[in-house]
Structure 1
Amino acid sequence: MAGQFKRLSESTLQRASFIGSNTVTEAKSIVAKVLRQNIYDIEIVENGGIIDGSLFVKDVQNPLQVVIHNTDRQVPLWLQTTKKDMVNPWEEEPRCIMSCNHAITPDNLYGYCWNQLTEQRTSFKCFVDVDGKRCDWEWFFAEVAENACLSTDERVLFESRINRNWFNLSAGVRECPFCRCVCERQRPDDPCVLCIYCRDAGKPHFEFCWYCLYPWKDNHSCTKDSARQILSTCPRKEIVKVPGCPSIRACPNCKILIEHKEQCKHMDCRNCKASFCFICLGVRGERGFTCGSYNSKCAVAPIQTVT
């Protein structure tokens, strides 16, 4: 029996000569021929993510969901600029001007924004360095869709991924970066997440970081770029009646990211055992904290930068 597939943006079912024992890569090649597309210009997706090509068709969603990429991302004349590309300053392809007044090619914009979504972000922000600080201007989805010249399928894929990320964040779960199954933290104050699905399947990696989603290692620290973005975009909260405190801080000693959940302002790092104040970032010395007791007010330290 022929397999079934449909484009992500359409409801019409189509048939192709793949079967359940084919790999996704094999099915993708067959589907590409039916659609008269290059195999590199389409993707098989599920739940807002690209499916591993080594999986068998029988193990993924039926019918297969297909995304056709835009292979000719042309910048509209009214958006073109001579400014340097924010990703590759030597880029010669036409660049579009973003609402923050920085420039980027449609392909680079697509790549950056998709990477943000796979890292389970829910918004897109400019990453250009301005006088030592990130621009952090938020680009709304309509702007990204137009400037990245998203195809109809790509637009649906992006929207699906944004919605899924929002749901995961609100539910307090993360997708495992290895198998994409949803995982909970074993302990609310521990950034190391164990994926029981990868562990039970005997995979070499089954622990990852709650914040940066990279494989967990001894003395783990998030990559600098990931840490900077997490620290600069995390929600603010009130701690011991002090408003505007970042909900995530980097340990002043080992730089591991820590999220404040409840109770007092003083925090003990599970990784290096250092004690520090989540509000002012003062580290406990031999005579204790200089910022007062566990529930006394102090000044909110600026957002940390990781160097």
Structure 2
Amino acid sequence: MEKVYQPNERRFVVVDGGPDDLDYTYECYRSRRARLSCGHHATPSSLTDLCTRQLNEGKSSFSCDTCGAALPYDEVRIKALLTPEEKEHFEKTLAFNATKTNPDTKICPGCNTSVARRQLSNLSVNCRVCTKRTGQPFEFCWQCLKKWKGNRSRTDRCDNDGCCNEALKTLKTCPVVIFQDIKDISSCPSIRACPTCGALLKHSGKMCKNITCTRCKIQFCFVCLQLTSKCLPTSNYFTPCAIPVAPRQTSIPQWNKD
């Protein structure tokens, strides 16, 4: 169904022609453009398509395709006329992309700003922006990204239904990778957590078995999870490792930047 602005959305819609106080009809708003915070314009469909493409590119925030200015999620949600399904998809993908590119930050479910966690052993995180805005402490779960429920200082989960570690779930359920240029390697998961920093990385199956982490820039073997410098002396880029395929990971390595 085509996305169309309604007359009650005139506060941000650019309507060509007619006095400002004209009571525009539904048809007058077909394919009209929204005035973005950066000053440029977009239809609800074009804004949805732009932000969907940026999500698919792995971005954890939105920006204007013309000038590059940041577009807050709250603005996108309203001006793109996101459906409930689109909102859920956008919010989950934003959070996943933020975790993938920078595991040290998450998107607050209250204000959709990036929040860093001070205590790595505590899943309950306080958002300063929401706390300042509402005048009351606002805490959310680092794992399920919902408003915190239950006792604090927990490391496993909060009391929200379905709370689980999505990264570990991904590592557990991802399909195996089929290496096109390496024979005799099977049962290797297609997604691994970098053994140095914990960032989730996916192997396409093309080229060699080694991969360079996009976050910490360390190269390691995707098959045995050893650093490339330790794997290569007993094998090469296109042959099986001297040790068996590393099993699916059950924990996320913490990056010690020191």
TM-score, normalised with respect to structure 2 = 0.37
More strand by share: 1
TM-score (norm 1): 0.32
